[in-house]
């Protein structure tokens, strides 16, 4: 192309090293791709995927009782115990239950607010709400969890508000933990759903109603399919973050434990990295199954 240009009398461009690199990549677009992708792929592949594989492998080893060091010998006991030991099955089911509950609650809360922001609020109000939702992300996670500890306590504000109605605070319990987790992850669910709704053109909704569709039909048949990927994207955040939590449950969860506590105490307390790795396989397997099942919806592009 450059030759044609010079032939046509266009001033020749100085051949700098950068220019040479540039021309090279133009001639070989494959190499351009390679150059773009090499660094990030190496980073993610070497730093992350390799680390995950290593962890996976560790799950099949054991700990030498005597020295406390990891012994390299193939051993399926840890992984089998995930399915047979009632402690692990109970805690796994409890954790999945809480994660599902938190996810569903967050989506239910996020839908109306995202819809209001996107389709009802004027530009000014929209900015204010958007900032209001983003702001709490900057108050530390721990501070928020401790704030809920204060809210939920027997002499806290919730009890103070509920007592006249004859109700009681849920206190420090699985409910307390679920409420707190749902609270902390809510902005992460609202944002993608709002993003998804912003992509739904307003005139599409009008077209639907012009064609005689009722509001609910429009919601169900037009809007829902369009924002489903965004909903799923939001759900990945809420679900995954809850699945691995071990701090909130210890602050507001009363005497209960979740999968994260077991993993954490196997690394720290028990010095049993293989068991911790085996337990870590549970959230990995759950998330992989979830990701695989939602991949077709295109949700993964909306995180």
Q: How far is the CB of 152 from another protein (least distance, A)?
A: 9
CA 104: distance to chain centroid? 14
Q: How far is the CB of 166 from another protein (least distance, A)?
A: 18
Q: Using the structure block, give the residue that is written with the tokens 């799923």.
A: 232
Q: How far is the CB of 60 from another protein (least distance, A)?
A: 10
Element (H, E) at 70: strand 70-71
- Looking at the Cβ atoms of 7 and 18, the one nearer to another protein is 18
Q: Which pair of tokens denotes residue 94?
A: 């409890």
- Looking at the Cβ atoms of 44 and 166, the one nearer to another protein is 44
Element (H, E) at 71: strand 70-71
What angle separates helix 174-198 from helix 141-152, to the nearest 10 degrees?
Answer: 130
Q: How far is the CB of 62 from another protein (least distance, A)?
A: 11
CA distances from 211 to 170, 203, 217, 222 (A): 48, 12, 11, 12
- Looking at the Cβ atoms of 74 and 166, the one nearer to another protein is 74
- Looking at the Cβ atoms of 123 and 164, the one nearer to another protein is 123
Q: How far is the CB of 165 from another protein (least distance, A)?
A: 16
Residues facing residue 255 across a β-bridge:
none
- Looking at the Cβ atoms of 187 and 231, the one nearer to another protein is 187
Distance CA(9)–CA(6), nearest Å, equals 5
Element (H, E) at 63: strand 62-63
């Amino acid at each position: 192309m450059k030759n044609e240009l010079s032939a046509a009398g266009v001033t020749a461009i100085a051949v700098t090293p950068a220019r040479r690199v540039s021309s090279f990549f133009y001639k070989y677009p494959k190499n351009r791709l390679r150059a773009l992708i090499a660094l990030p792929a190496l980073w993610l592949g070497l730093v992350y995927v390799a680390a995950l594989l290593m962890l996976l492998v560790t799950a099949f080893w054991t700990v030498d009782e005597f020295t406390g060091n990891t012994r390299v010998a193939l051993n399926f006991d840890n992984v089998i115990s995930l399915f047979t030991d009632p402690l692990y099955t109970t805690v796994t089911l409890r954790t999945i239950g809480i994660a599902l509950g938190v996810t569903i609650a967050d989506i239910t809360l996020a839908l109306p607010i995202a819809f209001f922001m996107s389709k009802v609020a004027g530009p000014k109000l929209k900015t204010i709400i958007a900032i209001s939702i983003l702001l709490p992300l900057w108050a530390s996670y721990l501070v928020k969890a401790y704030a809920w500890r204060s809210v939920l306590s027997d002499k806290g504000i919730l009890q103070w508000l509920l007592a006249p109605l004859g109700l009681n605070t849920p206190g420090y319990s699985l409910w307390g933990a679920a409420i707190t987790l749902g609270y902390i992850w809510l902005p992460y669910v609202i944002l993608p759903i709002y993003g998804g709704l912003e992509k739904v053109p307003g005139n599409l909704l009008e077209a639907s109603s012009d064609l005689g569709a009722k509001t609910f039909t429009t919601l169900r048949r037009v809007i829902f399919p369009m924002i489903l990927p965004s909903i799923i994207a939001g759900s990945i955040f809420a679900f995954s973050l809850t699945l691995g939590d071990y701090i909130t449950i210890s602050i507001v969860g009363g005497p209960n434990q979740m999968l994260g506590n077991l993993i954490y105490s196997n690394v720290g307390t028990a010095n049993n990295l293989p068991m911790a790795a085996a337990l870590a396989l549970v959230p990995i397997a759950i998330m992989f199954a979830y990701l695989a099942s939602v991949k077709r919806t295109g949700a993964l592009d909306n995180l």
